[in-house]
Structure 1
Amino acid sequence: MSAALLDRIHGCLIGGAIGDAMGAPGEDWHYADIRAAFGHIDRFLPQPARKRDGAPGQITDDTTLRHYMCLAIIRKRGRITPDDYAAVWLSDLNPDRLFVTERIVLEKLRLGMNPWETGRGQPAADAAIMAVAPMGIVNAGDPAQAYQDAVAISSIHQDGLERDAAGVVAAGVAAALVPGATTDGVLAAMTAHGSFDTKRLLRIAADLAAATGDVDAFTEQFYLRHLDRSFPRPADVSWDQDRTVSPTSREVLPIVAGLFALCDGDPRQCIVAGASFGRDADTIATVLGGLSGALRGAGVIPADWVADSEAANRGFFEEVGDAGPPDFHATAVALYDVLHAEQRRIAARAEALGALLAA
């Protein structure tokens, strides 16, 4: 067993879970309000806005969806399609853990809609980008395939830019898992796979990170210059141009890329920067935690964060029950085993192709 690869897979999963839980208390907040109340969020805080008991460290829908994507991969013993992912939604997923846009998808699936098309017409939201890291894991070392698989799997969630941005993040995870990977290399892989739209967003992030050179300055300037104000609001709910949140990849992707660069892919710094950004902070921090954890491994994440995350989410894994692994580390081991099955599949494909070429 490659201890280094397993540590990086675990780092991706646990880093994402930690970022999710650490960012949740600051979700929908303005960064200035977070600074006034907490300074920077560098610890697990109570989550009073959550439906469950709101205890510190508990995951949200971000990690829930990511874990069920892991389950689909583990059950398939390899790369998955939207049909495989949908089967897990229909058999295992707890709708109480979903955001409203995700519950719409679940109802579409229950009605029998094609999982490759349930994302059509969905409001632009970031369900795909927050869930997609396992597509990078199952395609470790192959950013191009990770991008393609992620765009396909994301059709269950969203359409348009949201799918493309999810593919970009999956490509980054696949690149991060390679020995010797660097922050610049991960960002280059993300830039190499995507549309004009995602490349432009990554360019915005790179330029702003270079111009500011600092997480707090980047945060302040992003609020002033690049907020996405497109997400719908009910007619009876007030709207504020600076404080009403748009949980979209058009906003999340450049924030993640800019903070990842400024923190040089260090998980602790990435997670704190994401959790302290405000806006859709749990998604920003979970994507940052997954990318940086894949790059640096679980071994560099503060041990108390890892232990507290595992302890806080025992109830989630008990809810999943015998349908899946009992914790994040066990999930990482199961995904590592899947990579052996992928290796055998690729070897068989290479042998068959060699026979064809020799014929």
Structure 2
Amino acid sequence: MAGTLFDKVYGCLIGGAIGDAMGAPAEDWHYTDIRPTFGQIRTFLPQPARSRDGAPGQITDDTSLRHYMCLAIIRKGGRITPDDYARVWLSDLNPLRLFFTERIVVEKLKLGMNPWETGRGQPLADAAIMAVAPVGIINAGNPSQAFQDAFNLSSIHQDGVERDAAATTAAGFAAAFEPDATVSSVLDAMVDCSSFDTRRLVTIGRDLAAETGDVDRFTEQFYLRYLDRSFPRPPAWVWDKDRTVSPTSREVLPIVAGLFQLCGGQPEACISAGASFGRDADTIATVLGGLSGALFGASSIPADWIEQSEAANLDFFREVSPDEDSNFRSTAAAMVGALKAERDAVARRVAWLDALVADV
């Protein structure tokens, strides 16, 4: 779909960042409130609840976590384990950028808990699915390996269906990098690389998209039929079955699958639809932005969106990198470098296997 590997990797990272920042102002909103207030969201809006100073375009925990995973992959020069990921959490991560569920994980790691097990007992939440795109990048074209790696890495975040959903989504990211990838092939890879629960969730989204045939109709029907109400609520807080948000993959995964299909995987349409959906809008839009950016490349994303996103997040990169030129673009270049190193490691193994079986 896109011209070059770098274009697709940069599209994946910057598309995810744009979706995150564009969806954040509508997070926790109901779609019936978003429409009269914003219409379809197609620009960066102030987000006082989720950014440092309320300025438009700033990322939230979604992109922060994804970047920490990129750092682990870049430093390793290839595929990583939860131990590699945990080292970045302990050395580079700023807990103030994270949601409460992940702050709990930070404390577990500081206490010396095994990062393969810190996700056990965590509240169901979608931190793993929001962070997983780099696993698809380093396993480009290999959805089944992306699924396995993401399942292991997600053990640092959560357990159960949240872990499965992150693994299934990673398979979709890996499939999007294939030269002849299409919307259908990406979603097919997610169905093929799945647990029973995640296969069902992807299928729900695809079927509802086919039934409704329209983003607005899909949104309306999803709210009526498929909202997840499982996320805990502090006892003193009022709970409303239709408006209290559950930031879980049981919602995010089918919404992503359905909107990705309805929007034809086009980044501008995907990001706007995800940001305008409400509920956990920043996570919905960040996954859609990353998938569509990986499929079509950064060259298919509006240039002004990319420019604004890079400019709005310079402070974040200064926080995690001493290099003044560090940004999403340079991170994409480093991820391409890591993928080349992974390619070289695979080539060495193939050569070793050729020698090993030569006389068999």
Q: TM bucket by the smaller chain? A: over 0.9
Distance 1:324 1:290 in 2: 25
TM-score by length of 2: 0.98
Equivalent position SS for 1:322:
coil
Amino acid at match of 1:312: A
Residue 115 of structure 1 is matched in structure 2 by 115
Aligned to 1:96: 96
Residue by residue over 1:65-91, the C-alpha shift from the partner in whole angstroms, topping out at 9 and shown as x without a partner, is 000100000000000000000000000
CA distance in 1, matches of 2:343, 2:39: 46
Q: CA deviation at 1:179?
A: 1.3
1:322 Cα deviation (Å)?
2.0
1:38 matched to which residue of 2? 38
How far apart are 1:270 and its partner, in Å? Answer: 0.2
The 1-side partners of 2:332 and 2:197 are apart by 32
For the residue of structure 2 that corresponds to 1:114, the secondary structure is coil
Match of 2:29 in 1: 29
Assess if the C-alpha contact under 8 Å between 1:325 and 1:331 holds in 2.
Answer: no
**Residues 174-223 of structure 1: CA deviation (Å, up to 9, x unaligned):** 11011121000100011100111111111111111011000000000000
Corresponding residue number in structure 2 for 1:261: 261
Counterpart in the other structure of 1:76: 76
Task: Tell me the residue number matched to 1:154.
Answer: 154
> 322-331 vs 237-246, which deviates more?
322-331
Shift of 1:325: 6.7
Fraction of identical pairs, as percent? 72
Q: Distance in 1 between matches of 2:231 and 2:342?
A: 39
Determine the C-alpha separation between the residues in 1 that align with 2:276 and 2:237: 25
Contact 2:66 2:132 in 1 (8 A): yes
Once the 2 structures are TM-superposed, how far is the Cα of residue 321 of structure 1 from its aligned partner? Answer: 2.4
Aligned to 2:250: 250
Deviation string 1:220-257 (CA, Å, 9 cap, x unpaired) is 00000000000000000000011000000011000000
Structure 1: how far apart are the matches of 2:311 and 2:188?
36
Q: 1:170 to 1:325 in 2, by over 3 A?
A: farther
Q: In structure 2, what is the Cα distance between the partners aligned to 1:342 and 1:131?
A: 20
Trace 1:162-173 onto structure 2 (pairs within 5 A).
162-173=162-173
Aligned-partner SS, 2:322: helix
Unaligned stretches of 5+ residues in structure 2: none
Runs of 4+ in 1 over 4 A off after TM superposition: none
Residue identity opposite 2:334 in structure 1: A
Q: Matched residue of 1:319: which SS?
A: helix
- SS of residue matched to 1:64: helix
- In 2 relative to 1, CA 40–3 (structure 1 residues): closer, same or farther, beyond 3 Å? closer
Aligned with 2:4: secondary structure? helix
Q: CA RMSD in A?
A: 1.2
Counterpart residue type for residue 351 of structure 2: E
How far, CA to CA, are the matches of 1:236 and 1:61 in structure 2? 26
Aligned partner of 2:128 in structure 1 is 128
Distance 1:247 1:99, change over 3 A: same
What is the CA–CA distance in structure 1 between the aligned matches of 2:205 and 2:282, rounded to whole Å?
A: 19
The 1-side partners of 2:180 and 2:358 are apart by 36
Q: Distance in 2 between matches of 1:5 and 1:306?
A: 18
Aligned mates of 1:208, 1:325 — CA distance in 2: 44
Distance in 2 separating the partners of 1:222 and 1:253: 12
1:7 is aligned to 7
Cα distance between partner residues in 2 of 1:308 and 1:265: 22
Give the Cα separation in 1 of the matches to 2:335 and 2:119. 26
Whole-Å Cα distance in 1 between the matches of residues 97 and 312 of structure 2? Answer: 16
